[in-house]
Amino acid sequence: MSKMFRTVRGMRDYLKEDRWRLNYVNSIVRELYYKYNYDEVSTPIVEFFDLVAAKAGAEIREKMFVFEDKGGRLLALRPEMTAPIARLYIENLMRSAPKPVRLGYIGTCYRYDNPQRGRYREFWQAGFELFGSDYPESDIEILNIAYDLMGKLGFTEFKIKIGHIGVLRSFFSVIKIPDELQDTILGLLDKREMGKIEEIMKENNIPENAVKLFYNILNLKGKEYTTIINQLNNLLSEYPEVLGEVEKFTIILQLLSKLDIFKKIEVDMSLARGLEYYTGLIFEIFVEGLDIAVGGGGRYDKLVELFGGEHTPAVGFAAGIDRLIIAMDERNLFRKPLEKKILITPLTPRQIPACFITASKIRELGYKTEVDVLRRNIKRALSYAVSNNYSIIIFIGEKEEKENKVTVKKLDSGEQHTINVEEISSILTPVVNRY
Ligand code: AMP
């Protein structure tokens, strides 16, 4: 008996409706690439392990699909897109392109996650990356795109949680926590493993008052950003290096407070992300009913340099398309255009060319048009068209062919006309579709 093959665990086929939903979201993402002047780029699915592992963070690093190629090179399926896009920037654009450089991408990523709702081993990310500016307006631009995307997809209720890794890292540095340990603590914070953080603090003899201060910082959250900033300034008054980072965060919040997006913003100083490349602002987008983020991003000013490029500040974000689709489905946000399908049936094989010529004319008008390829007779063609939601059926028989005519039957009204081929556009008004 032959073997039945199935999709690999955690990976999915996209049938008609699924693929349509994916395309629908992608077309809105692409509309934003255009409107914000981002150039869409793509990179290979396979990268050198060292590149994607460098700052992926312990959790993602462990979940990578890693393999050796026949040349003995250690490769991996990309677990996220920022590192590959930073590589692409250095390899192709850093020396030649005027700054800032705005890049967009839509692609699949791979992580050996435990498959469940909203968590797959192959999933789609759509992102925006802005290279070359460390001014807060570039942070604002990225946040604004995220806000715009959510609105354009149809979401009204969503939250953008924002935090600042620069504040946390500079605090860690003044209390002498080395970079690697910082990565570990931030990774645990992302997973809310507070017990383990406490253990690490103890093991590394971090003074109790510093640990207490750290927890006090983490507890700052809410919509009242001025209160949070005041508290940060008070808590950290003895650490001028950290206050510099607080000041950067303050400026971002002040700018945001003047924009529409502000009503969706919630500050959360305990926000951390698994990826280790973040240096400043970080954020995650949440919708009701899904406790995992539908998107996230932040500032990563040292990644390009780490990959051998020149110092290039950068900020970006990625939306998790699969999770957005789940949330959109739950809210009924997909808007299907009313589609008009047309079936053209030759009554004998001799009318096949006439059917194809007519089909081309109708496709030009924007209709989804098929020529029957199963040689159905009138009766069977009609019942097939009715039960499969065609709106119009067109017959071409010998008589029609001779007179250069077609018989058009509208299935909703039952109306039927035999008209000249050239007159088709007078009864079929042109339609515009989102594919
Ligand atoms: P990250 O690269 O971890 O910041 O993820 C960015 C976005 O990708 C997340 O907010 C999720 O929406 C999405 N994402 C991450 N991992 C998965 C997964 N295993 N399955 C589906 N979506 C994911």
Q: Which residue is it, tokens 């957005």?
A: 324
pLDDT of residue 131: 98
- The finding on whether 113 has its CB within 6 A of some atom of ligand 1 is yes
Amino acid in position 235: L
Side-chain-facing half-sphere of 245: CA atoms under 13 Å: 23
Is the CB–ligand 1 distance for residue 297 below 6 Å? no
pLDDT of residue 73: 98
- pLDDT band (50, 70, 90) for residue 310: very high
- How far is Cα 88 from Cα 100, in angstroms, rounded to an integer? 15
Residue 435 has pLDDT above 60, yes or no: no
Q: How far is the CA of 248 from the centre of ligand 1 (A)?
A: 27
Residue whose CA is closest, atom 11 of ligand 1? 320
Quick check: 337 pLDDT over 90?
no
- The set of long-range contacts for 189-198, using a CB threshold of 8 Å and a minimum separation of 24, is 189/218, 189/270, 189/272, 190/57, 190/59, 190/272, 190/273, 190/274, 191/59, 191/274
Question: Structure tokens of 365?
Answer: 């008008």
Tell me what pLDDT residue 426 has: 87
Q: Distance between CA 346 and CA 358 in Å, rounded?
A: 11
Cα separation of the two ends of the chain: 41
Q: CA 273 → CA 45, 66, 73, 128, 236, distances in Å?
A: 23, 22, 29, 17, 23
What's the CA-to-centroid distance between 96 and ligand 1, angstroms? 32
| % of residues, the chain, pLDDT over 90 | 93
Confidence of residue 1 (pLDDT cuts 50, 70, 90): low
The residues pairing with 267 across neighbouring beta strands, listed in sequence order, are: 162, 222
> Is 320 touching ligand 1 by the criterion CB < 6 Å?
yes
Residues 161-169 have a mean pLDDT of 97
Sheet with 392-396, strands from edge to edge, namely 368-371, 341-346, 392-396, 405-410, 416-420
Cβ–Cβ under 8 Å, residues 104 and 82: no
Distance CA 225, CA 338 (A): 45
**The pLDDT of residue 428:** 85
pTM: 0.93
Integer Cα distance of 151 and 148 in angstroms: 5
Q: What distance in Å separates the CA atoms of residue 31 and residue 293, rounded to the nearest whole number?
A: 23
Residues with Cβ within 8 Å of residue 196, at least 6 apart in sequence: 188
Q: Is the CB of 300 under 6 A from ligand 1?
A: no
DSSP E strand stretches across 6-60? 39-40, 46-48
Q: How far apart are CA 124 and CA 142, in angstroms?
A: 19
**173 C-alpha to ligand 1 centroid (Å):** 29
Contacting residues for 47 by C-beta, under 8 A, at least 6 apart: 75, 76, 78, 83, 84, 87
